[in-house]
Amino acid sequence: MSMSDSDSSSQTGDYKNFRQISRDRLLIEMLRSTKTGDSRSTWKVLIMDKITVKVMSYSCKMADITDEGVSLVEDLYRRRQPLPSMDAIYFIQPSRENVVMLLSDMSGRVPLYKKAYIFFSSPIPKELVGLIKNDTSVLPRIGALREMNLEYFAIDSQGFITDNERAMEELFGENVENSRHYDACLNVMASRIATVFASLRELPYVRYRAVKSLDASTVTTLRDVVPTKLAASVWNCLTKYKSTIPHFPQTETCELLILDRSVDQIAPVIHEWTYDAMCHDLLNMEGNKFVHEVCFPITTLILDVFLVKSGGEPEKKEVLLEDHDPIWLELRHTHIADASERLHDKMTNFVSKNKAAQIQQGGRNGSELSTRDLQKMVQALPQYSEQIDKLSLHVEIAGKINRIIKELELRELGQLEQDLVFGDAGTKEVITFLRTKQLATPENKLRLLMIYSAIYPEKFEADKGSKLMQLARLSHDDMNAVHNMRLLEGSSDTKKNSTGGFSLKFDVQKRKHAARKDRTGEEETWQLSRFYPLIEELVEKVSKGELPKNEYPCMNDPSPTVHGTTQSAPVRNNQVPTAHSMRSKRTATWARPRNSDDGYSSDSILRHASSDFKRMGQRIFVFIVGGATRSELRVCHKLTTKLKREVILGSSSLDDPPQFITKLKMLTQELSLDDLQI
C-alpha cells in the first residue's frame, strides 16, 4: 500500500509530528484518494464502526472531513437511507460482522450506494478477502479495497492509546491465570501498536521490561510476562509488515520501549501540579470537556453604535480544552502557580493594550464615554470579544482550581507526598497527617496511603495495614486499591526481605526510604514541582544507549535473550544496572515563565508549534500497559525539546487518579464498565 502522502522521514522535507501524520493519512491518503475519475467532484458518504469513528475523531475535525468531499457520516450498524446516486467510503475494522454488513449494503439489484471505497483499519484475514471476492454482484461496485493500518487513538500530538480500558483487569487481575481475556487483550493491543509504526513508516528496536529473576523457587506468573508477550506480538506484526507493506523499512529506524504499570506505581496517584493535570484531577471533567457558566452580555444601541454591557442570565457552556486553544497549549504543562501568574499578566497586558477593554474599564469607573470612544470600542470589539472570552475562561478555571486547592488543603498534602517520595518523610509524618487532618477527603487519604505502600510495601503485608486503614477511616473497598498494588508487581510480592532479622529492620527502612533521587544539575522553580515520573530517566537512558540489556532486552537484538537474561550483554558508558530507577532534583523547566510581549502571546505558541520538530533525531516510543498519566505525557513533551528527538507516549488508556484507583479495585472484584467514570 502506498504511503507517499505520509512520508514521515525527518531527513527530508518538513518534519510532521505524530498526530499530523495520522491526520494526513486519514484525510489525504484515504479520503482524498477517492476523488478519481467521475467521482472527483461528487459528495460522498463516510461509513465507520464504533472503533474507527473514534480513530477519526481523535485526529480530525468534522470540518476537515467535509473539506475532503464528505457530506454525510454514518454508523455502519444503524439503519441508513439508500443513496444509490452517491459513492460511499467505508473505514472499518476487518471483522466478519463488518464485512457481512458491507456486502449487505452493496449487493443485490439496488445497492445502498453507487460505489464503495473500502479501507480497513488493520490487516484483513485472507478468508474475509475471499468472502468479498466471492460476491460477484459486489465486486464491480468496489472502487478501492485497501488496508490503512491505522487503528490507534491519537489523544495528543505526541500520545496515543489503544483503548484497552480493561487491560489492567484482564492482564493483572486476581484470576488472570484462568482468564480467556488475557491473550485477546494482548493481541488487540499489539495489533494497534503495530499500526502506529505502519502509519509513520518506522521499524523500531522493540525493547521491553524483562521478568525479574528472583530465585529458583519463584514461579513466573502471566502478570510477570505481560511486557515480554506484548513485545513478541508487536514484533510479529511488524515482521509481517516488512513483507506486505511497500516501502516499509527493512532496518530499524527508531526505538520502542514496552513497560507495564508496575514500573512506577506512584505517578498515577500522586498530585501532579501542572495546569492540565489539575484540571482533570479536580474539576470532574468529561474527557477534555469543561462546563462553565457564562453571562451572555446585553447589547445596547447608543448613537448608532453598539455598547456592550454585562447583565445577562448565566447559562452553561461547554468548551474543549485542546490544542486548537493557544492559551491551553501554552499553559497546560506549566505549574498551576505559574499558569495563574501568566494569566494575570496576560489579562493586565490585554487591558492595557486593547482599546475596547480600556474604554469599557473607563465606563465602569463612572467617566463619560465620548462618541469617539464608542467608535474605537466598536472597532476593537470583535477581536476583543474573542480574546477576552478565552482569557476569561482560563482565569475562571485557574481560580476554581486554586479555590479547591485551598479548601482541601492540598498544598500540605502535596508536600507530604513529595517528601515521602524523596525520603524526607516517613511513617511518623503519615500518621500525624491522618490524625490531625480529619477533614481530608477519603480519596486523598487513600492516595497518600497508596504512595506510602509503594515506598514501604512491607508495612502492608498480611494485616499490618489495618491500623492505618482504621486511622484513615477508609472503607474495606478503598483499602482493596492499596492491597491490589501487589498484583501489578507480579511475583515480586513473594520476595523475602534479604535482610531477614529484627536487628536489620532499620537498615531496611533506610534503603527503602526514598522512591526517587533528586536530580543533579536541576533546581526547583516552583514549590511541589520536585516530583517526576520514572519514565523520564528511562527515556534518557534509551536516548544515550544506557538501558541495562539484562533488564530491558531487545526483541530484535542479534544476541538472543530468555526472559531478560543474557550471557554477556555489553553495556555502553560503563552503566550500572539499577533495578529500581530513582529520581533526581530537577529544575522544572516546564514551569519556567515565558516572556510575553502582549496580552495574547499564546498565538505564537500555536503558530510555531511544529517549528521545533525540524531536523529531529530518531523517534523514541514508550508504551505503558495498564494506563499512562498526564505527568508522563508532559515528560514526553519536555524530553522532545531536551533530546531533539520526538518522544511519543502510548498506553492502553490515559488515566487520571480516580480512574486508576477504580481500575485497581477491579483487580479483585467484579464491577461493570458503568462503574468506570471515564
Pick the CATH number of 275-361+374-408 from 3.90.1010.10, 3.90.830.10, 3.40.50.970, 2.40.160.20: 3.90.830.10
Please name every residue paired with 259 in a beta bridge, in sequence order, or none if there are none.
624
Q: Is the Cβ–Cβ distance between 238 and 252 less than 8 Å?
A: no
In the prediction, which pLDDT does 464 show? 73
Distances 654 to 339, 456, 547, 567, 625 between C-alpha atoms, Å: 23, 26, 25, 37, 10
In the prediction, which pLDDT does 306 show? 45
In whole angstroms, what is the distance from residue 188 CA to residue 287 CA? Answer: 23
Residue 137 pLDDT exceeds 60: yes
The model's pLDDT over 36-54, given as tens digits with 9 standing for 90+, comes to 766 666 899 999 999 999 9
Domains 152-264+533-557+609-671 and 275-361+374-408 fall in the same CATH topology:
no
In the prediction, which pLDDT does 40 show? 61
Count CB atoms within 10 A of the CB of residue 348.
11
CATH 3.30.2090.10 fits 152-264+533-557+609-671, yes or no: no
According to DSSP, residue 553 is labeled: -
Residue 363 pLDDT exceeds 80: no
**AA identity, residue 207:** R
Average pLDDT of 637-654?
96
In the prediction, which pLDDT does 205 show? 97
**Residue 423 exposure: Cα atoms within 13 Å on the Cβ side:** 14
Average pLDDT of 96-114?
95
Average pLDDT of 433-437?
93
In whole angstroms, what is the distance from residue 441 CA to residue 465 CA? Answer: 19
pLDDT category, 669, cuts 50, 70, 90? low
Exposure string for 538-560, b = 16+ CB within 10 A, e = fewer: bbbbbbeebbbbbbbbbbeeeee
Q: Which residue has the higher pLDDT, 398 or 15?
A: 398
Q: Is the Cβ–Cβ distance between 231 and 239 less than 8 Å?
A: no
DSSP secondary structure letters along 347-399: HHHHHHH-HHHHHHHHHHTTPPPPHHHHHHHHHHHHHHHHHHHHHHHHHHHHH
φ, ψ for residue 75 (rounded to 5)?
-90, 130
In the prediction, which pLDDT does 413 show? 96
Helix (H, G, I), strand (E, B) or coil at 620: strand
Pick the CATH number of 18-150 from 3.30.420.10, 3.40.190.10, 2.102.10.10, 3.40.50.2060: 3.40.50.2060
Please provide the average confidence, as pLDDT, over all residues in the chain. 81
According to DSSP, residue 368 is labeled: P
Percentage with pLDDT > 90 across the chain: 57
Average pLDDT of 366-392?
63
Q: Which three cell numbers stand for residue 572?
A: 555502553
- Where are the alpha helices (H) located in 513-591, listed in sequence order? 535-544
According to DSSP, residue 150 is labeled: -
Q: Which region among 210-224, 310-324, 476-490, 582-596 has the lowest average model confidence (pLDDT)? A: 582-596
The model's pLDDT over 278-305, given as tens digits with 9 standing for 90+, comes to 999 999 898 899 988 766 554 444 444 4
**AA identity, residue 495:** K
Average pLDDT of 553-577?
49
Residue 259 pLDDT exceeds 60: yes
In the prediction, which pLDDT does 486 show? 82
In whole angstroms, what is the distance from residue 456 CA to residue 450 CA? Answer: 10
In the prediction, which pLDDT does 76 show? 97
In the prediction, which pLDDT does 515 show? 72
Average pLDDT of 579-599?
40
The model's pLDDT over 501-542, given as tens digits with 9 standing for 90+, comes to 333 333 333 444 577 777 665 655 677 888 999 999 999 999
According to DSSP, residue 256 is labeled: E
In the prediction, which pLDDT does 574 show? 36
Helix (H, G, I), strand (E, B) or coil at 642: helix
Average pLDDT of 20-45?
88
In the prediction, which pLDDT does 569 show? 37
Name the residue ranges covered by the structural domains of the chain.
18-150, 152-264+533-557+609-671, 275-361+374-408, 411-488
Strands 70-75 and 44-48: parallel
In whole angstroms, what is the distance from residue 98 CA to residue 119 CA? Answer: 12
In whole angstroms, what is the distance from residue 438 CA to residue 445 CA? Answer: 10
Average pLDDT of 318-330?
90
In whole angstroms, what is the distance from residue 476 CA to residue 523 CA? Answer: 41
Max mean pLDDT range (23-27, 321-325, 423-427): 23-27
